């Protein structure tokens, strides 16, 4: 008989009051970042925040462009910006999103961002927990960025450089 793979992904479902002080700081930074999104085409504002090893916060937003595919999601904008500065460890990531003139909505990161999130995490020793906005004002806390992308493409299949 054929074998079956069963995957389990665990996330804690929290209320804002259940966040630790550090989590709340990162969460609020992601929400505040949405004010600064450059989203004149989709009118959908996304903010992403990282809590760093020195307890500072890095944040960024989605950056759109009249040549639509040239734009970039908030998650990749903040991660690529940080990855260009070596030696930083990320302790936590948070994402928030809302329509330009609206309330925050539940959202999960797109597939391309998940691939970048997983590889960014693999470049440091410790996993990066992730806070995503769940339905009805809840917050989903994943234990690791890689949890969002089972079966991620891994660089170890690439041929060794000669």
Query: Active-site residue numbers?
Result: 75
CA distance 47 to 61: 5
Exposed/middle/buried for 125, CB within 10 Å: 0-12, 13-18, 19+? exposed
**The one segment of 6-14, 106-114, 123-131, 147-155 that binds ligand THU by CB under 6 A:** 106-114
Please count the residues of this chain forming the interface with ligand THU, following the rule CB under 6 A.
Answer: 13
Distances in Å between the Cα of 9 and the Cα atoms of 120, 130, 131, 141, 147 are 19, 13, 14, 11, 6
CB of 46 to ligand THU, least distance (A): 3
Question: Per CB under 6 A, which of residues 48..87 are in contact with ligand THU?
Answer: 62, 64, 71, 73-75
Told to check if 94 binds ligand THU by CB under 6 A, we report no
Distances in Å between the Cα of 71 and the Cα atoms of 4, 44, 66, 94, 108 are 39, 13, 8, 20, 18
Told to check if 44 binds ligand THU by CB under 6 A, we report yes
Nearer to ligand THU, 18 or 36 (CB): 36
CB of 113 to ligand THU, least distance (A): 5
Nearer to ligand THU, 15 or 41 (CB): 41
Q: Which residues lie near ligand THU (CB under 6 A)?
A: 39, 42, 44, 46, 62, 64, 71, 73-75, 109-110, 113
């Amino acid at each position: 008989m054929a074998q079956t793979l069963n995957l389990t992904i665990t996330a804690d479902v929290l209320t804002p009051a259940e966040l630790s002080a550090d989590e709340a700081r990162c969460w609020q930074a992601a929400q505040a970042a949405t004010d600064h999104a450059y989203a004149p085409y989709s009118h959908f504002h996304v903010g992403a925040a990282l809590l760093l090893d020195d307890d500072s916060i890095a944040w960024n937003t989605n950056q759109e462009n009249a040549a639509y595919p040239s734009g970039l999601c908030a998650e990749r904008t903040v991660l690529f910006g940080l990855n260009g500065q070596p030696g930083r460890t990320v302790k936590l990531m948070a994402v928030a999103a809302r329509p330009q003139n609206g309330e925050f909505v539940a959202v999960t990161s797109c597939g391309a961002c998940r691939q970048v999130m997983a590889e960014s995490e693999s470049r440091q020793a410790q996993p990066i927990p992730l806070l995503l906005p769940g339905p009805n004002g809840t917050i989903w806390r994943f234990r690791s960025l890689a949890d969002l992308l089972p079966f991620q493409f891994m660089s170890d299949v690439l041929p060794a450089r000669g």
